[in-house]
């Protein structure tokens, strides 16, 4: 039975009680804590800060995925490794030397992730696939929560689902991931789902109930 990875997007959590949010999500069965780092340049928004990564690291032993939506991510992978990120995901669109950066992540003993925006073709990053432990396909334009799922990305996911058997990466999706999309995309071959306001946060139910139901889809 293929494992389904549920990954809360901590940008959507209640920052008034971040410690409680992390602890409750951990007990509820979250698999990976997804942390969006934005610089206001590569994407038109600012995400979580270094202190947030450090705080979350002290509160859970679950893997942390630092999703670097920043220019020149290779300059910062050492920093996020030192803060305790287990997975460091970069956008090749923002890196002049992505192969070097992915290799650097692995040499630090971390898992390397490739993320691509909806308008980026798989073919442009195919040479990097041997260096990827995770592949994160954005299904909305990155930077903001609450957007509409871009249906045209499904063809890209179909392509990636075929490639993951050859290259051995785990296929992840991020952007407007509703329960219906989890059910649909897991059947298509997606392994992991970044959960924001479409499936997890602000639903008026406890996290354990929601995550248990999503696991069973």
pLDDT tens-digit series, residues 27-47: 999 999 999 999 999 999 998
Going along 44-189, which residue ranges are E strands? 64-69, 87-90, 111-116, 134-138, 170-174
Q: Which one of 52, 65, 133, 174 is the catalytic residue?
A: 174
174 is catalytic: yes
Tokens of 149: 């799922």
Q: Which CATH superfamily is domain 5-216 in?
A: Aldolase class I (3.20.20.70)
**Confidence at residue 55, expressed as pLDDT on a 0 to 100 scale:** 97
**1 band by pLDDT with thresholds 50, 70 and 90:** confident
Q: Which of 36, 65, 95, 133 is catalytic?
A: 36
Q: Can you state the angle between helices 179-188 and 153-167, rounded to 10 degrees?
A: 50
pLDDT digits (tens, 9 = 90+) for 53-112: 999 999 999 999 999 999 999 999 999 999 999 999 999 999 999 999 999 999 999 999
Summarize pLDDT for 137-148 with one digit per residue, the tens. Answer: 999 998 777 789
Coil, strand or helix at 73: helix
Calculate the alpha carbon distances from 83 to 17, 49, 130 in Å. 21, 11, 26
In this prediction, residue 147 carries a pLDDT of 85
Structure confidence at residue 168 (pLDDT): 97
């Amino acid at each position: 039975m293929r494992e389904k990875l549920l990954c809360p997007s901590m940008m959507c959590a209640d920052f008034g009680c971040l410690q409680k949010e992390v602890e409750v999500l951990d007990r509820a069965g979250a698999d990976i804590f997804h942390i969006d780092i934005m610089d206001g340049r590569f994407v038109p928004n600012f995400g979580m800060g270094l202190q947030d990564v450090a705080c979350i690291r002290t509160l859970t032993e679950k893997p942390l995925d630092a999703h670097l939506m920043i220019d020149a991510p290779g300059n910062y992978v050492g920093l996020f490794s030192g803060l305790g990120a287990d997975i460091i995901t970069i956008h090749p669109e923002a890196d002049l030397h992505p192969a070097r950066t992915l290799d650097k992540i692995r040499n630090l003993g971390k898992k390397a992730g490739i993320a691509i925006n909806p308008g980026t073709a798989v073919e442009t990053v195919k040479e990097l696939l041997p260096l990827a432990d995770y592949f994160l396909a954005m299904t909305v334009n990155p930077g903001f929560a609450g957007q509409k799922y871009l249906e045209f990305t499904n063809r890209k996911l179909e392509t990636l689902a075929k490639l993951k058997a050859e290259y051995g990466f785990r296929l992840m999706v991020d952007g407007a991931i509703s329960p219906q999309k989890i059910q649909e995309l897991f059947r298509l071959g997606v392994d992991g789902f970044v959960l924001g306001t479409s499936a997890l946060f602000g639903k008026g139910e406890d996290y354990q109930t929601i995550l248990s139901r999503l696991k069973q889809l």
